[in-house]
Amino acid sequence: MSQQPATQDSHSSEEPNFYRAKSGLMSWLFTVDHKRLGVMYLASVLLFFFVAGFLAIALRTELFTPAQDFVSAATYNQLFTLHGAIMTFLFIIPATPGALGNILLPLMLGAKDVAFPRLNLLSFWIYSVAAVMLLCTLLLGGLDTGWTFYTPYSVHTGSAAGLAALGVFVAGFSSILTGLNFVVTVHRMRAPGQSWDRMPLFVWAIYATAVIQILATPVLAITVLLVAVERFLGIGIFDPAMGGDPVLFQHFFWFYSHPAVYIMILPGFGIISELVTVHSRKHIFGYKAIALSSVAIAIISFIVWGHHLFVSGQSELIGVIFSFLTFAVAVPTAIKVFSWVATLYGGSIVYNTPMWYALMFLWTFTIGGLTGLYLATISVDVHLHDTYFVVAHFHYVMMGGLAISFVGGLFHWWPKITGRFYNEALGKLSALLVFIGFNVTFGTQFFLGHQGMPRRYFAYLPEYTTMHQISTIGSWILALGLVIAGISLAMALRKSAPKAGPNPWNAMSLEWQTASPPIEHNFHDTPHVTCSPYDFPEIDKSGGGHH
Amino acid sequence: MILNLLLGPDPALLGTPQMSESPFSLLPAASTNAQELDNVYLFITALCAISFVILIGAQIYFMVKYKKPASGHRKTSPLTHSGKLEFWWSFIPAVLLIGLFAWGETLYMKMVAPPDDALQIRVTGQKWFWTVEYPDSGAKLTDEIIIPINVPVKLTLTSNDVIHSFYIPVFRQKKDAVPGRYTNMWFEATKVGVYPLFCAEYCGDQHSSMIGTAKVVSMEDFEAAIEEASRIVQLPNEPLPDYGARVFAKRGCESCHSVDGTTKTGPSLKGKYGAQETLADGSTVTIDDNYIRESLMEPNAKIVQGFAPQMPSFTGQLTDEQIVGLIEYIKSLK
Ligand code: HEM
Ligand SMILES: [Cu+2]
Ligand SMILES: [Cu+2]
């Protein structure tokens, strides 16, 4: 995308990459380098993904038979709570902004670091404290409220709900600070020539995410704090036994958690926009529409929370309004998917692992989005709410949308992060297994849900057995696929893995215009941006198409 | 609760029929609005299937057609946007979605507005059973709701502890039972039969067992059916322990207490009568008639060591006759 200093390679042989620039444990724990912080986030989120994935397999294994046999009722309830809470608060929310965002954002902007490097370190430490608090609930006898902490159950249950609520509260601060940091970085730190319409779409997505994080997270913080106050001080807020209102909690909770769904998915959209363009050598189709639809989604996401309360006893009129607003989110989302598919048109598509994951995303996310229409239709949601249909739907969007794009993004930027190539054959095998495993695991659950199988059940009526068994087998295939993806990535860490060089994909955005792994200050000379990040040399300029 | 934890829910015991013949077919629809809801469901399914085929079809076509040549890259299209295309692919979905919203909304309005002459039934959720009361006859059922066919029925729901959700899949109806307030739900059954009834809002350990049955009977059989189901009076010549066993099953004790020594939410009652019990504060009591009576009336007065104060109070819910039956039953559990 820019005038690349031709001297760069000779430089990088002199200047050590950011891993080598300093050494010792302290150089990591107290680093203010966005790349090192990103790598630490990456290690943490991958660890939590593994832990929570492991819990998921335990859950699915219990569900292999209709009876309760593998784990006890109480254990099952703690397992799904921890699985959901860890996946949401410690994996999905921090994964893309914390890990990929930290590593890539300043690089993509041609900056030396984020706007407030020390604040960035603070965010990481706050995140770590929150993680420790949530994991402590395990030792305290566990948490069994579900990741939604619904009152009054969470006020009464004799488990570690108070600590967990505080843990989520603390994690919120990390989110807010990271969001703040990124917003300022995007406004202030762009390289000369990088106007708003020359920013990579990944940056747009991280930016929209950061705005939601800043606006929505305080509401979550207040809500969980109120739960803690109610538990510890006995002041009635949500518990009717003390004069509180339990449904109020659900309003507060979803006022945060619905936008949070977009905190989770928007960065995934950003990743897909990069992957689809680079590996098909095409300018993104509808840059403006994609960028602006992120902003539209961010705004509308604040006024749809009531679709989680259709059967809670809220007024019918309010329910209908929320149903309407929910449909409104579907339009910008559809525009994005159409644009990605249109980007493939006339391309020269390279089928490597990151591209396979991106193409898989189009499939899984489309199913996730379309099944959202059933749930937005208020009368149909009365039937499907809190059944396996919902479990399937949100796994299609969260796992099929974000987790899959995150893995794809890891493969794509892995050469940049590690300086070496992952194992391509294993990478492709993992994509195939994940694709099959994922659809078998969660596709079956739409049928279960429509048949009326409620969620959060550890034992079920025998007529649901077949579908549950297929789903469980699928989850084993899925897990195997993810393990193989991990192995493929880990193989890049060997000394013998092929070196990637600065720009293995011939991409145009700035992060590829410096050494892999980058040097400590990212660039030798401040880069200048002269064109769009999607202006690939393969594009046929002779035909007089738009530019 | 009727559910034996170790064996899993036994449909024979529950008397529930298969939900449907095959997992791919639709559930039986047994209420006036269920059929129309299925129509909306099928319409959305068709809409989604068509969109999916078009979209993924285009994707696969492009994937095959525009694969990178064996060596080098081909020149790629300079297309960056197309106002027309973008307008139409925003406009058409928007119109379809508004239509879908409107249909869903109209049906919803029917689903939430009970006719004035609806039969009233009160439902109370409690960890982990449902109590169904018929104000007209004063009858009370546990984990079973009996409804006459072709008569609109309006339920008034509430909960004694945490939020539960009353869900009858074949009626396509669900509503939360919230402590401290009343919510409503209505339906008109159209098919005689016995159908599963679930709790759909997570409510703790035995959430999965908070299931029961919805029985649709003809209007003629209706009174007799509730009479029969709610009657837990001692039958002539019925020994007290047997009578107690019936009370034990019907009043939901089974969901927390086993009689074979396994610990559930509460202690097993096997061999308990006459034994010493250690309480949470370290003191001990002997389990006798008075202690059992107190456990039922004021369960939190004495908490057994190692257990949480989860037992609900049965004050006003059990007759003296029933309490005596329960005591004799517990005595008989050697
Ligand atoms: C490795 C693949 C995964 C499997 C096999 C899996 C499986 C499950 C299962 C069995 C449940 C419990 C359903 C129930 O009893 O109602 C569940 C719940 C959940 N999962 Fe996953 N899951 C996976 C990945 C993910 C990912 C990547 C995310 C998030 C991004 C996620 C988020 C959740 C959430 C939020 C819940 C709800 C927990 C609750 O009900 O409180 N899962 N999952
Ligand atoms: Cu939502
Ligand atoms: Cu429940």
Q: For A73-83, write each residue's pLDDT tens digit.
A: 888 998 999 89
Q: A133 φ, ψ to 5°?
A: -60, -45
Region for A515 from its dihedrals, namely left if φ exceeds 0, alpha if ψ lies in -120 to 50, beta otherwise: beta
Residues lining ligand 1, judged by CB closer than 6 Å?
A: A 53, 56, 59-60, 80-81, 83-84, 87-88, 92, 146-148, 391, 395, 398-399, 403, 441, 455-456, 475, 478
- Are residues B66 and A344, on separate chains, in Cβ contact within 8 Å? yes
Q: pLDDT at position B3, please? A: 33
Q: For A510-545, write each residue's pLDDT tens digit.
A: 999 988 889 888 888 888 888 888 888 888 877 644
Q: ∠A453-A456-A462 over CA atoms, to 5°?
A: 40
Chain B residues close to A67, C-beta within 8 Å:
6-8
Q: Which amino acid is at A147?
A: W
Work out the pLDDT band at A378, boundaries 50, 70, 90: very high
**What residue has token string 């393990």?**
A483
Nearest to B104 among A323, A454, A457 (CB): A323
Distance (Å) from CA A122 to ligand 3 centroid: 41
Q: ∠A252-A258-A259 over CA atoms, to 5°?
A: 105
Question: Is pLDDT of A547 > 60?
Answer: no
User: How confident is the prediction for chain A on average, in pLDDT?
Assistant: 88
* Share above pLDDT 90 across residues of chain A, in percent, rounded to a whole number: 49
Q: Does B256 or A371 have the greater pLDDT score?
A: A371
- Å from A26 to nearest chain B CA? 45
Nearest to A73 among B48, B66, B205 (CB): B205
Q: For B215-237, write each residue's pLDDT tens digit.
A: 999 999 898 888 877 777 777 78
Averaged pLDDT for residues A165-172: 84
Nearest to A379 among B6, B89, B104 (CB): B104
The dihedral sign for the CA sequence A341, A343, A345, A351 = negative
Q: For B255-304, write each residue's pLDDT tens digit.
A: 788 888 888 788 888 888 888 888 888 888 989 888 999 888 888 888 88
Q: What's the order of all strands across the beta sheet hosting B173-177?
A: B144-148, B212-217, B193-199, B164-168, B173-177
Question: Is pLDDT of B19 > 70?
Answer: no
DSSP state of B234: P
Q: Which atom of ligand 1 is nearest to the CA of A457?
A: 15
User: How confident is the prediction for chain B on average, in pLDDT?
Assistant: 85
Selection from B158, B128, B2 nearest residue A77 by Cα? B128
Selection from A135, A136, A138, A133 nearest residue A78 by Cα? A138
Asked if A197 has any chain B CB less than 8 Å from its own CB, the reply is no
Please, where are the H alpha helices in B113-230?
219-230
Q: For A430-489, write each residue's pLDDT tens digit.
A: 999 999 999 999 999 999 998 899 999 998 888 888 889 999 999 999 999 999 999 999
Distance (Å) from CA A378 to ligand 2 centroid: 13
- B194 near B124, Cβ under 8 Å? no
Q: For B66-101, write each residue's pLDDT tens digit.
A: 998 888 888 888 888 888 999 998 999 999 999 999
Q: Which residues pair with B147 in a beta bridge?
A: B216
Please name the residues in contact with A394: beta carbons below 8 A apart, sequence gap of 6 or more. Answer: A368
SS3 A63: coil
Tokens standing for B56?
């993924």
Averaged pLDDT for residues B313-332: 85
**What residue has token string 């609109």?**
B152
- Are residues B51 and A370, on separate chains, in Cβ contact within 8 Å? yes
For chain A, the residue count is 547
Peptide bond into A152 cis (omega under 30): yes
Q: pLDDT at position B306, please? A: 84
Q: Is B49 exposed, middle or buried (0-12, 13-18, 19+ CB in 10 A)?
A: exposed
Question: Is pLDDT of B129 > 70?
Answer: yes
- A57 near A479, Cβ under 8 Å? yes
Architecture of the domain delimited by A34-512: Up-down Bundle (1.20)
The dihedral sign for the CA sequence A459, A461, A466, A468 = negative
Q: Is A542 exposed, middle or buried (0-12, 13-18, 19+ CB in 10 A)?
A: exposed
Asked if A382 has any chain B CB less than 8 Å from its own CB, the reply is yes
Q: pLDDT at position A5, please? A: 41
Q: pLDDT at position A184, please? A: 95
Distance (Å) from CA A306 to ligand 2 centroid: 8
Averaged pLDDT for residues B27-35: 88
Please name the residues in contact with B46: beta carbons below 8 A apart, sequence gap of 6 or more. Answer: none
Distance (Å) from CA A79 to ligand 1 centroid: 10
Question: Is pLDDT of A330 > 80?
Answer: yes
Q: pLDDT at position A295, please? A: 81
- Å from B71 to nearest chain A CA? 11
Asked if B102 has any chain A CB less than 8 Å from its own CB, the reply is no
Q: Does B50 or A315 have the greater pLDDT score?
A: B50
Tokens standing for B178?
């919230």
- Are residues A538 and B69, on separate chains, in Cβ contact within 8 Å? no
Cα–Cα distance measured from residue A513 to residue A521, given in angstroms and rounded to the nearest whole number: 13
Q: Which residues pair with B144 in a beta bridge?
A: B213
Q: Chains A and B: how many Cβ contacts under 8 Å?
A: 306
**What are the structural domains, with CATH classification, of chain B?**
119-229 (2.60.40.420), 240-332 (1.10.760.10)
Question: Is pLDDT of B12 > 70?
Answer: no
